[in-house]
Amino acid sequence: MSQSRASMDEPHNGPSGNDALSAAERRAFIQIARGKQAAESVFRNCRVVNVFSNEVYEADVAIAYGRVAGIGRPGTYTGVKSIDCGGHYLVPGLIEAHTHVEDALLVPGEFVRALAPHGTTTCISDPHEIANVSGVPGLRWMLAASEHLPLRLMLTLPSCVPASPYESAGASLTASDLAPLAAHPLIASVGEVMNYPGVLEGDQTLLDVIALSQPATVTPRGLAVDGHAPELMGLDLCGYVAAGVQSDHESVSAAEALEKLRLGMWLWVREGSTRNLDELLPIILEHAPERCGFVADDRTPGDLLREGDLDAIIRKAVGKGLDPIQAIRMASLHPAQYFGFTNRGAIAPGYLADLLVVPDLRNFRPRQVYVGGQLIAEDGQALFTAPALPSDWTEAVERTVRLRDFSVERLRLPGQSGTARVIGLIHDQIVTEDRRVEVQSHNGQIISDPERDILKIAVVERYGGGRVGVGLLHGLRLRKGGDGLIRCSRCP
């Protein structure tokens, strides 16, 4: 587990929970907690969900300086402002432990506007997509765009840029490139270590990036190390954990998930555009692991609009038999513990006043969302507008697609009719299969066959090198395209 990230002596109230209390404020905060001074606001008529004791009880919650000052019997506290929760549940704000802003096709400000109504109050995003394109300048742009948002958006240090030595990328990042960013208050962890074969072979570049997590002059607080190792098990998994990787969100089977838990890894159950909840939920129901939580990972705009974020995962998990408080713990307290956030993930004195008012724990849909005690979303709508994008580093993220020698001819696939290797998609999964199917050719070119679900797929290098890779794909179920309209049998 990473080193503790925050205490009452450390910053609290900014995007990552910043702004330390002065000595005078601390003295006042203590008296407010004791009920000797009026709070800034008091949540009344609520049922507090306590993720420490796994219970629900009626209480008043006093807020001051953006934090929870105290919790007491109804009528205990006085406040300048009284917030009537209408008898609903008061729940700690949810923490998204792993996602990618870029995959939602939104800039950070609009991304958090989409998240806020769903109760996500802290979000950790791995910016390896923009880093692959624009390197450190792209990361600095993302950090600048993530500041001063009403929701706490934090980033990771992308560990694998490029993801593997076989990829083309716009940048190549090493530990020396990332070290100046490691102590930034919006950096939460070392991002997902995707190149696990490189880790197992002792690649020094990868090991140096992982070492950025250790408490040192550069990163005095220490950082968690996120993993990415689908289907890795046995002694190779031991080697991966021994390298310092602490979590994984890529487990595709219950046996794999349990083995990772047994080795001390944090298991993130992913249920976003890729879905693993059904397969992994039996492990949670049987073992109730403490080192376990929910993540969305990739969320398309359609997913966010139709389903939501962590709230949707909670609803689904509870509907399949998980205790509602356990589900809330997995989306609040557990990720806070993983990242070493000692100031969020629960409702307790000194914790950030990131709170949700939820009418029904089984049909988990936040009615109101508060960050630092301030209402930011209500009845499914964000109550803030996205701030202007930062002008610093903007050049690094504009006009980054530079094609060379590209034409429709580059999309042709020479070959003859017969058996061919194709990429086999597995519905809702990141892993693929190596399939052999019969294909047809015309004039020496292999052609698509949508009726048999065989399509061509192309990777066009965007950095001016002029490389184009063309192959075959099976399992997408795309039936029609053209004129900007694409129809998929899985799409509504």
Q: Which two tokens stand for residue 467?
A: 């490389």
The parent domain of residue 149 ranges over 92-337+378-396
β-bridge mates for residue 414, sequence order: 445
Q: Is residue 406 domain-shared with residue 392, that is, in the same domain?
A: no
Distance CA 13, CA 152 (A): 9
Counting the structural domains of the chain, the total is 2
Instruction: Give phi and psi for 138, each to the nearest 5.
Output: -65, -40
CATH code of the domain in which 314 resides: 3.20.20.140
pLDDT tens-digit readout, 409-468: 999 999 999 999 999 988 777 778 999 999 999 989 999 888 898 999 999 888 888 889
Query: Would you list the DSSP string of 409-460?
Result: GGG--B--SEEEEEEEE-TT-S-EEEEEEEE-EETTEE--BGGGTEEEEEEE
Question: Is 117 within a domain?
Answer: yes
269 touches 299 (CB < 8 A):
no
Give the pLDDT confidence score for residue 465 in this predicted structure: 86
Question: Is 45 within a domain?
Answer: no
125 touches 156 (CB < 8 A):
yes
Strand order in the sheet with 432-439: 432-439, 418-425, 468-474, 454-460
Question: Confidence band (pLDDT; 50, 70, 90) for 7?
Answer: very low
Give the pLDDT confidence score for residue 165 in this predicted structure: 78
How many CA atoms within 13 Å lie on the side-chain side of 298? 13
Bigger pLDDT: 391 vs 382 = 382
Give the pLDDT confidence score for residue 215 in this predicted structure: 81
Q: Which residues, 6+ apart, have CB-to-CB distance to 192 below 8 Å?
A: 98, 126, 128, 156, 159, 160, 226, 227, 228, 249
Question: Confidence band (pLDDT; 50, 70, 90) for 396?
Answer: confident
Distance CA 429, CA 462 (A): 26
Q: Is residue 310 domain-shared with residue 419, that is, in the same domain?
A: no
Question: Is 105 within a domain?
Answer: yes
Residue 208: closest CA among 217, 196, 199: 199
127 touches 158 (CB < 8 A):
yes
222 touches 215 (CB < 8 A):
yes
Q: Which helix (H) or strand (E) holds 115?
A: helix 108-115
How many CA atoms within 13 Å lie on the side-chain side of 386? 16
129 touches 102 (CB < 8 A):
yes
β-bridge mates for residue 64, sequence order: 67
Q: Is residue 389 domain-shared with residue 480, that is, in the same domain?
A: no
Question: Is 463 within a domain?
Answer: yes
Q: Is residue 387 domain-shared with residue 408, that is, in the same domain?
A: no
Question: Is 185 within a domain?
Answer: yes
User: Rounded to 5, what percent of the chain is helix, strand, coil?
Assistant: 25, 30, 45
Q: Is residue 390 domain-shared with residue 448, that is, in the same domain?
A: no
Give the pLDDT confidence score for residue 17 in this predicted structure: 65
Question: Is 263 within a domain?
Answer: yes
Statement: residue 34 has pLDDT above 50 = yes
441 touches 415 (CB < 8 A):
yes
3-state secondary structure of 339: helix
Give the pLDDT confidence score for residue 487 in this predicted structure: 45
Q: Where are the alpha helices (DSSP H) in 293-390?
A: 301-306, 310-319, 324-330, 333-339
Tokens 């880093």 correspond to what residue? 131
Q: Is residue 97 domain-shared with residue 242, that is, in the same domain?
A: yes
pLDDT tens-digit readout, 341-376: 999 999 999 999 999 999 999 999 999 999 999 999
Bigger pLDDT: 155 vs 488 = 155
3-state secondary structure of 143: helix
Q: Is residue 133 domain-shared with residue 264, that is, in the same domain?
A: yes
Question: Is 67 within a domain?
Answer: no
Statement: residue 397 has pLDDT above 90 = no
| Average pLDDT of the residues in 203-220 | 85
Q: Is residue 390 domain-shared with residue 432, that is, in the same domain?
A: no
Q: Is residue 324 domain-shared with residue 432, that is, in the same domain?
A: no
Q: Where does a domain end: 396, 424, 447?
A: 396
Question: Is 426 within a domain?
Answer: yes
Q: Is residue 470 domain-shared with residue 390, that is, in the same domain?
A: no
Q: Which helix (H) or strand (E) holds 175?
A: helix 175-178
Q: Which two tokens stand for residue 175?
A: 């530990």
Distance CA 374, CA 123 (A): 17
92 touches 51 (CB < 8 A):
yes
Q: Which residues, 6+ apart, have CB-to-CB distance to 35 below 8 Å?
A: 62, 70, 72, 76, 77, 78
Give the pLDDT confidence score for residue 12 in this predicted structure: 37
Query: Would you list the DSSP string of 202-256?
Result: T-HHHHHHHHTTS-SSS-TT--EEEE--TT--HHHHHHHHHTT--EES---SHHH
Tokens 């090991």 correspond to what residue? 207
Q: Is residue 186 domain-shared with residue 284, that is, in the same domain?
A: yes
Question: Confidence band (pLDDT; 50, 70, 90) for 303?
Answer: confident
Q: Is residue 137 domain-shared with residue 151, that is, in the same domain?
A: yes
